[in-house]
Amino acid sequence: MQDKYNHQEIEIKWQKKWQEQNLYKTVDEVKGKKNFYALMEFPYPSGNLHIGHWYAFAVPDIFVRMKRMQNYNVMFPIGFDSFGLPAENAAIKHGVDPRKWTYENITYMEKQLQSMGNSFDWSRKIITSDPEYYKWTQWLFLKLYEKGLAYKKKASVNWCPSCQTVLANEQVIAGKCERCETEVSQKDLEQWFFKTTAYAEKLLNGLKDLKWPNSIKESQKNWIGKSEGTEISFKLKRNNAPQPPLNLRGGERSEGELSIKVFTTRVDTLFGVTYLVLAPEHPLISKLTNQIKNLKEIEKYIKETKQKTEIERTDVKKEKTGVKLNGINAINPANGEEVPVFVADYVLGNYGTGAVMAVPAHDDRDFEFAKKYKLAIREVITGGDISTEAYTGEGVLMNSEDFNGTKSEEAREKITKKFGKKIIKYRLRDWLISRQRYWGCPIPVVYDPEGKSHSIPEKNLPWLLPEDVDLTSKNQSPLATSKELKERVEKIFGKDWTPEVDTMDTFVDSSWYFLRYTDPKNEKEFADKEKMKEWIPVNRYSGGAEHTNMHLLYSRFFHKALFDLGLVNEDEPFTERINRGLILGPDGQKMSKSKGNVIDPDKQVKSVGADTVRMYLAFIGPFNEEGQYPWDLGGIVGIRRFLEKVWKIAQKIQNKPTKKQKEESYPATQNLELENLLHKTIKKVSEDIENYKFNTAISAMMIFINELEKKLEHTPEVSKGAFDTFLKLLAPFAPHITEQIWSQLHLQSESTTKSIHLEKWPEYDELKIKEKNIVIAVQINGKIRAQFETNIDIKENQAKEKALSLIKIQKWLTGKKIKKIIFVPNKIINFVV
């Protein structure tokens, strides 16, 4: 046996062996085993594995390995989310082919991933930029297209001037591009959308039964933004100007008159309306041009609004502005009162009806606006003071004719019934999936000479990404520069037919990748339905918190849509979700090259070993609490010391003379104590891994090893058995060193030893966990005064006597009367005086 723990030699050796033996290859069914699908978000092939990848993959591998030892048939796949902007940007900057850049990165990162010692099933590897994969992304797109769930429309969309492409709503964070943090602007473009709004209610309802962190559920709930309210129609007052044409959009004719529809959640304040506000985008404005007396002023205001960025426009702190539509008045259906109409950019064009009824007495925004433009403020809800600010709470109605004295909630129902209709609105928008970029999945659509869109037939899939493109061309999608693509379309479809030149958002690729893992090589279907039945829904999915309202919402939408199309068996894709935390630099800051605080995992692995790095990451804090943990260069030595200790004990055990030592010559209690601790450790480690509390599992193992080290001399036989069991507990954390020790201790040639990772997970014995002796704390009024050791399950009376005799010596109770005695079995006895 080697006497030095040489991590490099051991790790390379076993990684090679596991690969040769196909140790982690998963088949779809194993008799007598339950399937378990453990999924981690697959990486983008950026070119280098960082410590965050290690955290994301190596730590959950501990759980995966335990599950496998617990007789589950575990699938733990890996792949690459390989379409995306960085490849294209690298291509533009360095003149390399994005394809080459991506695939070279994948090759390199695969090697890095191997060094983790993870139990990935590489045979199921998928790469989203492979035509074999994106063929099915396109096929699924067409299924949605056929059902009307993918559609094209002209809309004002978010445009990132730096990335030169549009962005989905979810990819705009506080008015800035999620990727490059450039301020986004608005552009009117014809774009492809997925109809996520059709699933708003289902996405909301589905959250209830998911075993997901509360934070994600709440965040998605907010993002979907359901609000129930009332739609009210305000007729416009007829005036002497000529009537507009009949076939209008935006405004609606009722009894020959135009009206403005507003959406409100506080219809109980209807009698307090003193004006209406239209969003600058409201279509009615352009239909009223011959009635608006100050048209020039209005047009100027609208133009100014358009020039503002999204950030400027939606800045809550900004002073509200607006212009009155002279000559236009609306009639409050509740009391017949005429109210003025304003256009103001604090009302959003793309939410609700794009128009609101303003109740300055009971809405902060309306209050501010009314004060500025000296508009009437009428109190209709009692319970507040509206002299300096709006009262937005509930109350009892006043100044509301028949409804005076009614409570807000009741009034909402009654007023809705009489003057409006109940309506539900969602904040969620449709998912914009077009991207004006090259390195993505081509949208499988062509246009006929009239410009009408048509599906590309299945036999022409995969619809290949062309290669003869100019990546630097401005103001058009790179695909538009491909001669080959143009010719391909004309050859297949006819003259003057043209290709769609946008590619899909990469989030489309990742919305179904976990389905492909179940059947990665299938050439006839995106995945076999029977195979999906074995694995879907995913049992446990772990990843980063940044995907809450993007990937996780998109996947849920996609899956629900596929379910309704009969293509998958379940309507939710992921049963349990775990959000991991974040590893910070040693300075407690986010790692970044510019700060120079980046930890290179390769260097760490070289110096202390993969087992140590894995375990240190698991030890740094609870994995599932989204915490932020600084990488402590000092702290990692604690784990290394622990593994060195394990190594040393293994040596001692192996080098012991083989002749049996007489156990009787040692105190029997030592053996019992060790067994007791071992079984407690099995329980603790098993439960903690199950709950992703790897940090406390490691701490329990450290306690065990420290005890074992002390007892080794006195209990050689029991220690050996206990150590053997302990190794299995440690195996998921430190797969290499345990495999090495295991193979040596079992004195077989290394080639024939059964891997420790194929061993059965230890089970604890409830009887052995039970303590023989315990310490009972004696309290007076809840304060600890003394403690005594006694046998377990001591009766209350005995405990009381013992405690009292202890207390008597100390005179704590002299002259005091005992009012009450609280006895907590095996823990505490408390005297209340």
Binding of RNA at residue 233 (CB under 7 A)?
no
Q: How far is the CB of 319 from RNA (least distance, A)?
A: 8
Q: How far is the CB of 415 from RNA (least distance, A)?
A: 13
Tell me the CA distances in angstroms from 40 to 53, 76, 346, 467, one per residue in order.
10, 8, 42, 32
Q: How far is the CB of 649 from RNA (least distance, A)?
A: 11
CA distance 21 to 13: 12
Touching RNA, residues 675-694 (CB under 7 A):
693
**CB-wise, 214 or 797, nearer to RNA?**
214
Binding of RNA at residue 634 (CB under 7 A)?
yes
Find the binder of RNA among 318, 418, 491, 808 (CB under 7 A): 318
The two three-digit tokens of residue 504, written as one number: 């899909």
Q: Tokens 């409830």 identify what position?
A: 766
- The Cβ of residue 357 has, within 10 Å, a number of other Cβ atoms equal to 26
Touching RNA, residues 506-565 (CB under 7 A):
545, 548-549
The two three-digit tokens of residue 806, written as one number: 């202890």
Find the binder of RNA among 131, 161, 457, 627 (CB under 7 A): 627
**CB-wise, 42 or 223, nearer to RNA?**
223
Please give the biggest Cα pair distance in the chain: 115
Peptide bond before residue 360 is cis, with ω within 30 degrees of 0: no
Binding of RNA at residue 730 (CB under 7 A)?
no
Instruction: Give the x-and-dash track for 758-797 against RNA (CB under 7 A).
Output: -----------------xxx-x-xxxx--x----------
Tell me the CA distances in angstroms from 589 to 230, 424, 593, 619, 625, one per residue in order.
48, 43, 12, 19, 18
CA distance 108 to 121: 18
Binding of RNA at residue 351 (CB under 7 A)?
yes
Find the binder of RNA among 43, 79, 229, 250 (CB under 7 A): 229
CA distance 478 to 86: 15
Kindly state the DSSP code that residue 336 receives in the 8-state scheme. Answer: -
183 close to 211: Cβ distance less than 8 angstroms: no
Q: Tell me the number of residues near RNA by CB under 7 A.
A: 84
Touching RNA, residues 252-311 (CB under 7 A):
263-266, 279
Touching RNA, residues 356-395 (CB under 7 A):
356-357, 363, 365
**CB-wise, 66 or 562, nearer to RNA?**
66
Q: How far is the CB of 824 from RNA (least distance, A)?
A: 5
Stretch that binds RNA, among 379-387, 534-542, 639-647, 650-658 (CB under 7 A): 639-647
Find the binder of RNA among 19, 706, 791, 798 (CB under 7 A): 706
Stretch that binds RNA, among 1-9, 251-259, 673-681, 821-829 (CB under 7 A): 821-829
Binding of RNA at residue 347 (CB under 7 A)?
yes
Touching RNA, residues 186-215 (CB under 7 A):
214-215
The two three-digit tokens of residue 57, written as one number: 């993959």
Stretch that binds RNA, among 31-39, 43-51, 350-358, 672-680 (CB under 7 A): 350-358
350 close to 153: Cβ distance less than 8 angstroms: no
477 close to 489: Cβ distance less than 8 angstroms: no
Binding of RNA at residue 822 (CB under 7 A)?
yes
Q: How far is the CB of 475 from RNA (least distance, A)?
A: 28
Touching RNA, residues 404-443 (CB under 7 A):
425, 427
Find the binder of RNA among 490, 644, 673, 717 (CB under 7 A): 644
CA distance 269 to 255: 26
Helix axes 694-711, 610-619, angle to 10 degrees: 120
Q: What angle do CA 177, 182, 183 make, to 5 degrees?
A: 85
Find the binder of RNA among 125, 195, 313, 768 (CB under 7 A): 313
Find the binder of RNA among 48, 70, 185, 227 (CB under 7 A): 227
Considering only CA atoms, which of 178, 159, 180 is closest in space to residue 170?
Answer: 178
Q: How far is the CB of 190 from RNA (least distance, A)?
A: 23
Find the binder of RNA among 183, 622, 720, 744 (CB under 7 A): 622
Touching RNA, residues 582-621 (CB under 7 A):
619-621
Stretch that binds RNA, among 57-65, 344-352, 410-418, 499-507 (CB under 7 A): 344-352
CA distance 89 to 106: 17
Long-range contacts of 790-799 (CB under 8 A, 24+ apart): 792/826, 793/825, 793/826, 794/826, 796/823, 796/825, 796/829, 799/823, 799/829
